[in-house]
Amino acid sequence: MGEFITNNLRPALQEEGLQNTKIISSENAAWGTANTYLSGMDRSNIDILAGHGYVEISEIISGKRGGNQNPSKWTFSTGGKPMWVTEASDDGGSYDSGIEGGLKLAVNMHKLLADCDASAYIFWLGMLAFQNNEALICTRSDGSLEFTKAYDVLGHYSRFVKADYRRIHVAVQNGNGLLISSYKDPQTGKFTIIITNPGTTAVPLDIQLSGVTGGQLANYQTTANSSGHWNLASAISPSANGIYNLTIPAKSISTLAGTKQ
State the pTM of this model.
Answer: 0.95
Q: Of 134, 158, 182, which residue is a domain's last?
A: 158
Rounded CA-CA distance 177/181 in Å is 13
Which pLDDT does position 243 carry in this prediction? 94
Tell whether 7 and 103 lie within a shared domain: yes
Tell whether 115 and 133 lie within a shared domain: yes
Q: Is the pLDDT of residue 100 over 90?
A: yes
Q: Is the pLDDT of residue 60 over 90?
A: no
Which pLDDT does position 177 carry in this prediction? 95
Tell whether 25 and 129 lie within a shared domain: yes
Q: Which helix H or strand E contains 151, and what residues bound it?
A: helix 149-158
Q: Is the pLDDT of residue 77 over 90?
A: yes
CB 234 within 8 A of CB 245: no
Q: Of 158, 193, 214, which residue is a domain's last?
A: 158
For residue 245, what are the β-bridge partners? 206
Tell whether 228 and 146 lie within a shared domain: no
Number of domains in the chain: 2
- CA nearest neighbour of 253 among 35, 91, 103: 103
Rounded CA-CA distance 146/85 in Å is 25
Tell whether 150 and 33 lie within a shared domain: yes
Distances 61 to 54, 56, 58, 115, 260 between C-alpha atoms, Å: 13, 9, 5, 25, 48
Question: Across the chain, which distance is largest between two alpha carbons, in Å?
Answer: 63
Average pLDDT, stretch 4-28? 97
CB 88 within 8 A of CB 97: no
Burial 75-88, CB ≥16 within 10 A → b, else e? eeeeeeeebbbbbb
- Give yes or no for a cis peptide into 26 (omega within 30° of 0): yes
Rounded CA-CA distance 180/5 in Å is 38
Our CA angle for 236, 238, 240, nearest 5°, is: 145
Q: What is the CATH number of the domain that holds 46?
A: 3.20.20.80
Tell whether 13 and 107 lie within a shared domain: yes
Q: Of 126, 158, 190, which residue is a domain's last?
A: 158
Tell whether 144 and 252 lie within a shared domain: no
Residue 72 binned pLDDT confidence (cut-offs 50, 70, 90): very high
Tell whether 172 and 153 lie within a shared domain: no
Q: Is the pLDDT of residue 93 over 90?
A: no
Q: What is the CATH number of the domain that holds 250?
A: 2.60.40.1180
Tell whether 16 and 109 lie within a shared domain: yes
Tell whether 136 and 195 lie within a shared domain: no
CB 90 within 8 A of CB 67: yes
Which pLDDT does position 162 carry in this prediction? 94
- Taking only the tens place, the pLDDT of each residue in 150-200 is 999 999 999 999 999 999 999 999 889 999 999 999 999 999 999 999 999
Which range marks the domain in which residue 82 is found?
Answer: 2-158
Average pLDDT, stretch 75-99? 95
Tell whether 153 and 175 lie within a shared domain: no
Tell whether 15 and 111 lie within a shared domain: yes
